Structure 1
Amino acid sequence: MNRHTKLAILLAPFLILGGYVLSDLYLEDQASDLRLYQMQPFGHCDVINQKCILKSGEFEINVMHDNGITTVNSTFPLDTATLFTVDKANNPTGYQLGMKETPYYWKRETDIGALIPNKSDKLKLRFIGEIKGGKYIAEFYTQTVK
């Protein structure tokens, strides 16, 4: 066995370990990059009657409002959830939702019921949910049918 082969056999484990560590650092850096996903309403959105589903691929959230409490439930656990009501002058009012019991359910007291008191009134809402650095965003209208 010549000296080049011996040197290769001696260095191979260190090169493999170094490659593994560097690839892990690279993937960790890529995971922290900002990723935005647009969510779209699935059919007609009626938050008051609990019929508002937003979708982005496999991810879905359901937005509902009952007795002054707005609740969001999702198919995947959220890290944070924020809901905005937007008035006619396009001024948003933000509501940072708090986790209910699990990261699948988020709730907060909001004024959505007061902003759409009559049947067929529309209200613009915005949603931002975060899952492991990925942000899911939506801008949609809710309209009460019944």
Structure 2
Amino acid sequence: MNRHTRTALIVAPFLILGGYIASDFYIENKADQERVFNMVPFGLCDVINEKCVLKSGTFEVNIYDKAGTTTLNSTFPLDSATFFLVDNNNQVSAYPLGMMDSAYYWQSPTPLRNNISNKGDKQKLRIIANIKGGQYIAEFSTQTLK
């Protein structure tokens, strides 16, 4: 075995380990970069009657209101979530949602039920859900059907 082959056999394990560590840093850095994804309603949205699902690829969010508390349920654990009510003059009221039992469920008291409690009432809503640097956003309208 000559000198170059011996040096290659000694250096190769260190290069493999270094490449493995460098690729892990690269993938983690790429996952933490900010990205924005748009969610769209899956069918009609009726938040009061618990029939509002927003989708973006495999990520889904279910939004409903019970007794004045707006709840967001997601298919992936969230880092944070914010719910917005938009009035007819495009004035926005923000409601940061707090985590319930797990990072899949978020809620906050909102006046949404008071605004759209009657059949046929409409309200424009916005959602921002954060997951590891990715922001899932949606602007949609809900209408009370029953």
Unaligned runs of 5+ in 1: none
1:117 Cα offset (Å):
4.0
Distance 1:27 1:74 in 2: 24
Q: Which residue in 1 is equivalent to 2:86?
A: 86
Shift of 1:5: 1.1
Deviation at 1:118, TM superposition (A): 3.2
User: Identity across aligned pairs (percent)?
Assistant: 58
Cα distance in 1 between the residues matched to 2:28 and 2:76: 21
Equivalent position of 2:114 in the other structure: 114
Gaps of 5+ in 2: none
Give the drift of 1:125: 0.3
Structure 1: distance between partners of 2:17 and 2:76? 34
Once the 2 structures are TM-superposed, how far is the Cα of residue 144 of structure 1 from its aligned partner? Answer: 0.8
TM-score (norm 2): 0.93
1:71 equivalent to 2:74? Answer no
Could you tell me which residue of structure 2 aligns to residue 36 of structure 1?
A: 36
Normalized against structure 1, the TM-score is what?
Answer: 0.93
Q: Aligned equivalents of 2:84 and 2:17: distance in 1? A: 48
How far 1:116 sits from its partner (Å)? 2.1
Once the 2 structures are TM-superposed, how far is the Cα of residue 46 of structure 1 from its aligned partner?
0.8
Question: Which SS does the other structure have where 1:37 is aligned?
Answer: strand
Q: Distance in 2 between matches of 1:39 and 1:79?
A: 17
Aligned CA-pair RMSD: 1.3
Q: Deviations over 1:65-95 (max 9, x none)?
A: 1211111112222221110001112121111
Distance 1:2 1:120 in 2: 85
Q: Distance in 2 between matches of 1:92 and 1:58?
A: 28
Shift of 1:18: 1.5
| Structure 2 Cα separation of the partners of residues 74 and 18 of structure 1 | 37
Residue in 2 aligned with 1:52?
Answer: 52
1:104-141, Cα deviation, whole Å (9 max, x unpaired): 21111001122224321211100111122221111100
Q: Does 1:5 align with 2:5?
A: yes
After the TM superposition, which of the residue ranges 57-66 and 38-47 deviates more from structure 2? 57-66
Looking at structure 2, the residues matched to 119 and 71 of structure 1 have their Cα atoms a distance apart, in angstroms, of 21
Give every structure 1 segment of 4 or more consecutive aligned residues whose post-TM-superposition deviation is greater than 3 Å: none
Equivalenced residues, count: 146
CA distance in 2, matches of 1:138, 1:56: 10
CA distance in 2, matches of 1:58, 1:78: 14
